[in-house]
Amino acid sequence: MKKHIFFILFLSLSLNLWSQSQKKEMNALQISQIERGYGMFIHFGINTFNEIEWSKGNLPATSYNPTNLDCDQWIKTAKEAGFRYVILITKHHDGFCLWDSKYTDYDVASSPVKTDIIAEVSKACKKYGIKLGLYYSLWDRNFKGYKSDEKYNLYMKNQLTELMTNYGEICELWFDGGWDKKEASWDIPAVYKYVKEMQPNCLLTVNHCIGKPENRSSKKDPVDYQYGDPIRYFPIDFRIKDPNFARWDDPKYYEFDKTLYYLPFEHTICLSDRWNWFQKKKAIAARPVDELEELVYWGTANNNIMIINVPPDQTGQIRTNEKNRIFELADRLGIRGGKGKLPTGPINLTFKQKIVASSETAKFEAEKANDYSIETFWTANDSVADLEITFDNKVVFDRVVLFEEPVMKDLGDNFSKIRTFKVQEYELLSYSNGAWDTFYTGDVIGATKIIKLPTEIKAEKIKLKILKSNGNPSISHFSVSKESSRGVRKIVK
């Protein structure tokens, strides 16, 4: 009997050691990325001057024509807004290059303004103490040899040599557009090795990176990621899937060849309220600061990272209304001018608490309004409806956050959308000692509403009553918290 018990213990220990040997923990480079935590995307290129998001590689290079280009202004703005690094578009799907590449004529050298954007941004990053990352589209709709993997991969290798050897240290390299060919066509293992030889401290990723390579329809959205899901492109150092958001409890370990790898997730959002990556001729409103603040908390939770796209306009500068919004956000976060550490959001007291609705529609149940995702949502089947949360234990709160799910309308440029919202009147109630009490009334919610209360409320339950809406309303998250529970962001190992 003792021998049998000893054998079971030995086997259990052996299996545990085997499991540990097949699991790669976070490394020093990933820690440095998580510590940066907050970056600025810069989409700029030929699309900026043609009112389009994805062009086909046939727009004339002469249409690229910034009238008052100032890359220093971009990075000065990033520094003042508290961003730690930038990710700069070098070549989008159209193939137009923002540097004078020896391997194509479809670049800035063939345009009226021949400035090497990569060089100018690199210089400004050094000046302001900002790290530089680069984005490079695998998909190229201009290069004539694109359909031949051998020809295109040599072209890509030559261009990556230019980017990785001429502009100083590169902290991250984004690949995008990989869906246009089979995964194996890109030979990511060879590309990864080649980049690391030139830039050993550069983290590399490929968009749409989780899902089975042999089944292209299997690629997953971050809301559905599960511990141990297969890695679609390998090797990579972190995950991306723009513009989706991971869950608050986002898992970190993913599998390739029977080994688990630690992979943080880098979120991307557009500052614009129209979800456009490239700037348009007409000035567009920025997202509300309430929404931006809460998205930063979501995006940087659980060792994840957040980058906000702030695109320069046709003059070649960042617009004042967008500068002001990211400065306002920086003030909210306490990181203006690059000072201070990224904060965490206040502790959410409604996650997974019992929730019921006066009405709901199939697949959009009440529980979607307080789960770990802001991409799931509750939808009522009437224009007047209630959401009620019962707490396991009485809670104390002085802050309420509401996310309303928008109606999205495509603007016809292959990506941009306009958002509209339905709620027009609502109230919030708390329940304690056998009675309901209305503590807040409001009209529109919009994308996100942060309500800071002058006094703390103790409650056994809380209710959102939607009194008037233009159609059936949808709420993607409903939370309460204590303002004093926010903290300083730390790496969780």
Report pLDDT for 216.
Answer: 67
User: How far lies 480's CA from each of 82, 255, 333, 346, 476, in Å?
Assistant: 27, 36, 19, 9, 14
DSSP three-state, residue 248: coil
Are residues 350 and 476 in contact, defined by beta-carbon separation less than 8 angstroms? no
DSSP three-state, residue 315: coil
The dihedral built from the CA positions of residue 178, 179, 184 and 189, taken in this order, carries a sign that is positive
Task: Report how far residue 205's alpha carbon sits from residue 239's, in angstroms, rounded to the nearest whole number.
Answer: 6
Report pLDDT for 144.
Answer: 96
Report pLDDT for 59.
Answer: 98
The predicted-structure confidence for 250-263, as pLDDT tens digits, reads as follows 999 999 999 999 99
Dihedral over alpha carbons 420, 424, 430, 436 (to 10 degrees): -150
In terms of residues, how long is the chain? 493
User: Which residue shows structure tokens 């700029």?
Assistant: 44
Neighbouring residues of 9: CB distance < 8 A, sequence distance ≥ 6: none
With b for 16 or more beta-carbon neighbours within 10 A and e for fewer, the 332-343 pattern comes to bbebbebeeebb
The predicted-structure confidence for 433-485, as pLDDT tens digits, reads as follows 999 999 999 999 999 999 999 999 999 999 999 999 999 999 999 999 999 99
Instruction: Please report which helix (H) or strand (E) contains residue 78, including its range.
Output: helix 71-80
Q: Which two tokens stand for residue 215?
A: 């089944």
Q: Which two tokens stand for residue 258?
A: 């029977």
Burial bucket for residue 10 (CB in 10 Å: 0-12, 13-18, 19+)? exposed
Q: What is the CATH number of domain 354-485?
A: 2.60.120.260
The structural domains of the chain, with segments of one domain joined by +, span: 23-338, 354-485
Q: Phi and psi for 212 in degrees, rounded to 5? A: -75, 125
Write out residues in the chain with pLDDT < 50, as ranges. 1-20
Report pLDDT for 214.
Answer: 74
Chain-centroid distance of CA 473 in Å reads: 25
User: Which residue shows structure tokens 């979607």?
Assistant: 368
Cis peptide before 243 (omega within 30 of 0): yes
Local structure of residue 229 (DSSP, 8 states): P
Are residues 164 and 201 in contact, defined by beta-carbon separation less than 8 angstroms? no
Closest alpha carbon to 464 in 356, 346, 381, 352: 356
Task: Report how far residue 42's alpha carbon sits from residue 75's, in angstroms, rounded to the nearest whole number.
Answer: 10
CB count within 10 Å of CB 396 equals 12
Chain-centroid distance of CA 104 in Å reads: 31
Instruction: Please state the pTM of the whole predicted model.
Output: 0.94
Instruction: Please report which helix (H) or strand (E) contains residue 294, including its range.
Output: helix 289-300
Are residues 278 and 311 in contact, defined by beta-carbon separation less than 8 angstroms? yes
Report pLDDT for 175.
Answer: 98
Instruction: Please report which helix (H) or strand (E) contains residue 73, including its range.
Output: helix 71-80
Pick the CATH number of 23-338 from 3.20.20.80, 1.10.10.2840, 3.40.50.720, 3.30.70.260: 3.20.20.80
Q: What is Dmax (Cα atoms) for the chain?
A: 85
Report pLDDT for 275.
Answer: 85
Q: Which two tokens stand for residue 363?
A: 């697949």
